[in-house]
Structure 1
Amino acid sequence: MADLDFAYKNVRESVPAGTPGKWAVATLYARAALYEGTYRKYHNELNLSGSANAFLETAARISGEIIASKKFTIYNTGKPEQDYATLFSSQDLTANSEVILVNIFDLNKSKSQNVNSTVFGDYEQAPAKDLLQTYLMKDGSRFTDVANYAQLGFVAEFKNRDPRMSQTMVYPGWIRVPDPTPYIQRLNKNFTGYHQLKGYVNSTDNAILNGVDFPVYRYAEILLTYAEALAELGTLTQAQLDQSINLLRKRAGLPDLNLAAANANPDPALQLQYPNVTANAGVILEIRRERRVEYAFENMRFDDLMRWKAGKLLTTSPQGMYFAGLGKYDLTGDGVDDIILIDRTATIPGEDQKEKNSLGVKLIYYRTGLIGTDATVYLKNGNNGGNIVTENVTRNFEEPKFYYRPIPQQQVILNPKLKQIFGW
């Protein structure tokens, strides 16, 4: 922390584009302070909770100084359906008001990247339904308060949601160039059925694909850090909420978060995920929701679960789309069936024998059954429906052991006085 403080006070503010300067240092400084403060607060096995507030105060102070500098603003052109996505698909972020540190890519300057095949594809790991259920409705209400929310199909669960959801995950009706027809989700290969869209560049131009700048540090993180640190300290005010979290909600076109209302009515679904949050529970849970949604797929989630002592959430295997059972389903939102789920023992007909929908397009066939069988799509209850399941292993998270790493054996040999902790 002393090193970060020294760097914050001494690193130049004026630096070449793409180079870490004073405000990039400040971002890392605030991030480290928030991590350590919340880690000490929630990890009672360390007996360090008495020093937690000092770190939280530092996180609030440094993020507050970044806000007070007025050097950065949330990128918001009044287009909630696209402003968020623009941050992850732009050819030039050097002048973007939200980007504190940018990694510059340009095919013509021999520094390029193309992450399309990694971001989007039929790989085994895919967005989980639990993430989709975290997004609010467009009117600010909770999706998990909707009747039968867990049994809604792909098309229904995307209706009237936080616009960031359709800028993060492929939505019904999305068109992937150069194909002019709506993309139909792929369901096989242990896939949840959901595709990541955030960071995907919908183009066939190689120069564009390889020239997308990457926002390393965003001002959005500063606002989230500021709000969380103050909420954990128990000093967060509505005015501070308005100058932090609610700026992110405004970009998304969502209603403001009200401090008193949140604390008076904490989200039961989030309370089940984070049972160790007690004081200020309502607003802390909403800040955590906002953090998960705003930073989905930006490599924040694991560290957040570790510092919040929420590792047990990793024991839940990812599940995907819900299907009521065998039959035909529309996945593009036009009311026309696109796929058909058949029993795993049935034979998929030849191309000339496949059933066609009302548009004259052949249905996509999937052999359906329980996980562990030779089916193509695994449903929780097999032919009786349920969510797509991706694995049948038992996940285990030993607390507090798995929050830490063992001392390397070589070091123990060199110094026999070193003792492993927490069961390692």
Structure 2
Amino acid sequence: MKRFYLYIVLMAGLGICVSSCADFLDREPLTVPNNESFLSGEAQVRGYINGLYTALPSLAKFGMGVRGEEKNSDNILSEIYNKRLNGEETLFSSSEDWENGYKNLRNVNYFFHYYLVPEDMETEEVKSLKGEAYFLRAYWHFVQLKKFGNIPIMDAFWDEHATIAGLQIPQKDRGEVAKFILEDLDKAEKLLFNRSKYSGLRICKEAAMLLAMQVALYEGSWEKYHKNDEFAAATDQSAYFFGEVLRWGDMLFEQGIKLNTKETDGGVVNPGDAYGRLFNQNDYSNISEVLFWRKYSVTDGVFHALTGLVGGGVVDQDGPAGIAGDLVNTYLNADGMPVDPNNSKFKDFNETFKSRDLRLTETIMSSGYKFKSTAKGSRPMKVADASTGDKTINPPFLAGDGNAKNVTGYHIRLGVDTTYVSGDCETGLVLMRYADALLSYAEAAEELGKCDDEVLSKTLKPLRARAGVTYVTPARDPNFTDYGYTLTPVMQEIRRERRVELALQGYRLDDLMRWAADKVIVGKRGKGAYLGHDGVLYKSFAEDKHEALAKVLVDGNGWMDPLQELIPGGYQFNPKRDYLLPIPPSELELNKQMKQNPGWK
């Protein structure tokens, strides 16, 4: 790296900290530490670690954050489409990602370098804080691994070797990087407190176990599905990594964490609430499924804009967007059977949501639900529905403009503030959730040929039970997403479950990359709901809106086709290049030991 950064914000904000750091702000600048006193006691250690939390994902005072992130996949269609999906990234596109990742690693290693707490003062609290540092070093290496593949491992504070000669550090094969990450997480797990200590507000033992599962699953599937292409690891160790998922998962199961259900959550009233309440609460302290979360408080001046934007119909803060119809079609019927997206009944917007997986109506706006009362065009309109008679529905914002305009007919409901308050938002952000562990465990078990009924009974079956879906023995679904290779019926259902359970939570791109799923992307552009003049959706708009609706792009059969003019040939993702981001040319010029990623010349 050409430059080093000191990016430590010493504050107890964002609800992560549990003690004030104000006294620490008056100490000597971190750029000139006093090695005899710096990081030598619990207060200093806590203050420094609190600062490292600020780099973790958060919700901003402006913007959609994670909820709109999946326009980088096939889950959201946006007029401001993702450049990586369309093969438009350049050699210089990833410079900020590279620098930020190593900046964050440098900050963590700064902690280890100057950590001077005497052994007799290493309380359990101090040890757990040290465990948080190991977790964060693992976390940022994982971020870099996913983006860049083979990378230099930053296992020490490099400032003392900040010369051209000292920085000739070779990349490690991605398998070695993954094993280093797991070693750090093993150290973290042994030091960290359980979730119960800080109610999920700080990094905990269970979060370290889940991160280890995520790392092992990512690397195992990458090495399996990329073993015959340009992005293969030096050695295919996929079976080892899948085994690590199960080992860490077994450890996590012993912690007694439970899914959020009516039995565990007294706030559940309606059938879909057990899932929906994971995304619209200010406080997740008593929801044990949430292993790690971020708190916001208007009183403390720490708030965000997400719930207001979602309530106003925004899907992508950059421009008009909408949830992809393919995601909608992935949700099962309540009887456990897949839908046939070619069935003409789905021309009726209301039919799309009837007797389906409860997560569908918790994730996507449908008839009977409303946006914030202050939202543009939110006045309910009457429409004749042959099956139910006159029904009051909220038509999607198809005829407007700006970033609240919807291009597919499918708005986000996930996380909408059901009290419809206006102003600053303080809904918490879930960073890590137990359901992810169940999905990871089931996937790794099936990859190893071990996903029997016992495994399914503790992974997929409880997730479907919470969603009101009858569990049916998996059978091949001819309309399931084509990944370009054959999947077992069980793996189809695991991937289906992963897509819907984790929808709009920032997972989909990583999954497509590790599964070598370019066939899902290349030449595809996605569609939306039916907007033919004979359909409920069209009729839900007053006649004075029909002229505006005529400008909505549809295909020859009346289905919304928002990207037909922007990318007429579908996304042009390059499978020989775009699975990894380019290493910035300036870094290659500085460190001659590194090689550029495949396809980036």
Please give the range of the TM-score, normalised by the shorter of the 2 chains: 0.7 to 0.9
Q: Is 1:311 the counterpart of 2:526 in the alignment?
A: no
Instruction: Give the counterpart of 2:249 among 63, 74, 80.
Output: 63
| Structure 2 partner of 1:273 | 482
Tell me the CA shift for residue 385 of structure 1.
2.4
| Structure 2 partner of 1:299 | 506
| Structure 1 partner of 2:496 | 289
Conservation of the 8 A alpha-carbon contact between 1:41 and 1:49: no
Instruction: Give the counterpart of 1:167 among 351, 359, 362.
Output: 362
For each residue in 1:167-196, what CA deviation from the matched residue of structure 2 results, as whole angstroms up to 9, or x when unmatched?
100002323343673422122457112101
Identity among equivalent positions (%) equals 30
For each residue in 1:318-367, what CA deviation from the matched residue of structure 2 results, as whole angstroms up to 9, or x when unmatched?
3111133xx364349xxxx4226xxxxxxxxxxxxxx5xxxxxxx53244
Conservation of the 8 A alpha-carbon contact between 1:168 and 1:196: yes
Moved more, 216-225 or 195-204: 195-204
1:144 maps to amino acid: D
1:339 maps to amino acid: F
TM-score (norm: length of structure 1): 0.82
Instruction: Give the counterpart of 1:101 among 256, 278, 292.
Output: 292
Tell me the CA shift for residue 156 of structure 1.
1.7
Tell me the CA shift for residue 286 of structure 1.
0.4
For each residue in 1:234-257, what CA deviation from the matched residue of structure 2 results, as whole angstroms up to 9, or x when unmatched?
111101101111111111111124
Q: Secondary structure at the match of 1:102?
A: strand
Tell me the CA shift for residue 83 of structure 1.
1.7
| Structure 2 partner of 1:339 | 541
| Structure 2 partner of 1:43 | 226
Change (3 A) 1:146 1:401: closer
| Structure 2 partner of 1:252 | 467
| Structure 1 partner of 2:348 | 153
Instruction: Give the counterpart of 2:559 among 371, 386, 393.
Output: 386
Change (3 A) 1:367 1:233: same
Q: Unaligned regions of 5+ residues in structure 1, if any?
A: 341-354, 356-362, 369-374
Change (3 A) 1:400 1:10: farther
Distance in 1 of aligned mates of 2:555 and 2:515: 30
Structure 1 outlier segments of 4+, above 6 Å: none
Q: Is 1:121 the counterpart of 2:313 in the alignment?
A: yes
Distance in 2 of aligned mates of 1:65 and 1:419: 38
Conservation of the 8 A alpha-carbon contact between 2:242 and 2:444: yes
Distance in 1 of aligned mates of 2:445 and 2:283: 34
Q: How many residue pairs were aligned?
A: 378
Change (3 A) 1:190 1:378: farther
Query: Structure 2 matches for 1:74-223, cutoff 5 A?
Result: 74-77=259-262, 79-119=270-310, 120-122=312-314, 123-144=319-340, 147-148=343-344, 152-178=347-373, 181=380, 182-188=393-399, 189=405, 191-206=407-422, 210-223=425-438
Query: CA RMSD of the aligned region, Å?
Result: 2.5
Distance in 1 of aligned mates of 2:493 and 2:575: 25
Distance in 2 of aligned mates of 1:81 and 1:202: 13
Q: Is 1:2 the counterpart of 2:209 in the alignment?
A: no
Tell me the CA shift for residue 67 of structure 1.
1.3
Distance in 2 of aligned mates of 1:194 and 1:68: 40
Q: Secondary structure at the match of 1:303?
A: helix
Distance in 1 of aligned mates of 2:419 and 2:483: 40
Tell me the CA shift for residue 377 of structure 1.
0.6
Instruction: Give the counterpart of 2:577 among 398, 401, 409.
Output: 401
Tell me the CA shift for residue 90 of structure 1.
1.4
Conservation of the 8 A alpha-carbon contact between 1:250 and 1:256: yes
Distance in 2 of aligned mates of 1:314 and 1:22: 37
Conservation of the 8 A alpha-carbon contact between 1:90 and 1:213: yes
Moved more, 410-419 or 168-177: 410-419
For each residue in 1:284-316, what CA deviation from the matched residue of structure 2 results, as whole angstroms up to 9, or x when unmatched?
110110011011100000000001111332331
Distance in 2 of aligned mates of 1:137 and 1:421: 43
Distance in 1 of aligned mates of 2:513 and 2:547: 38
Q: Is 1:16 the counterpart of 2:225 in the alignment?
A: no
| Structure 2 partner of 1:371 | none
Distance in 1 of aligned mates of 2:503 and 2:292: 18
Conservation of the 8 A alpha-carbon contact between 1:330 and 1:339: no
Distance in 2 of aligned mates of 1:366 and 1:199: 33
Q: Secondary structure at the match of 1:364?
A: helix
Tell me the CA shift for residue 48 of structure 1.
5.1
Conservation of the 8 A alpha-carbon contact between 2:484 and 2:519: no
For each residue in 1:249-274, what CA deviation from the matched residue of structure 2 results, as whole angstroms up to 9, or x when unmatched?
1111111243xxx2xx222222x522
Q: Unaligned regions of 5+ residues in structure 2, if any?
A: 1-181, 264-269, 381-392, 400-404
Distance in 1 of aligned mates of 2:427 and 2:591: 49
Change (3 A) 1:367 1:401: same
Distance in 1 of aligned mates of 2:296 and 2:279: 12
| Structure 2 partner of 1:343 | none
Q: Secondary structure at the match of 1:19?
A: coil
Conservation of the 8 A alpha-carbon contact between 2:528 and 2:559: no
Q: Secondary structure at the match of 1:396?
A: coil
1:153 maps to amino acid: D
Tell me the CA shift for residue 423 of structure 1.
1.9
Tell me the CA shift for residue 403 of structure 1.
0.6
Tell me the CA shift for residue 317 of structure 1.
1.0
Change (3 A) 1:176 1:416: closer
Tell me the CA shift for residue 117 of structure 1.
4.0
Conservation of the 8 A alpha-carbon contact between 2:329 and 2:341: no
Distance in 1 of aligned mates of 2:235 and 2:309: 40
Conservation of the 8 A alpha-carbon contact between 1:164 and 1:252: yes
1:380 maps to amino acid: D
Q: Secondary structure at the match of 1:269?
A: coil
Q: Is 1:227 the counterpart of 2:442 in the alignment?
A: yes
1:133 maps to amino acid: N
Q: Secondary structure at the match of 2:330?
A: coil
Change (3 A) 1:186 1:409: same
Moved more, 153-162 or 72-81: 72-81
Conservation of the 8 A alpha-carbon contact between 1:89 and 1:213: yes
Tell me the CA shift for residue 401 of structure 1.
1.4
TM-score (norm: length of structure 2): 0.59
Conservation of the 8 A alpha-carbon contact between 1:320 and 1:387: yes
Q: Is 1:364 the counterpart of 2:545 in the alignment?
A: yes
Q: Which has the higher contact order (CA 8 A, sep 6+)?
A: 2
Distance in 1 of aligned mates of 2:477 and 2:394: 34
For each residue in 1:6-29, what CA deviation from the matched residue of structure 2 results, as whole angstroms up to 9, or x when unmatched?
112222226434111111111111
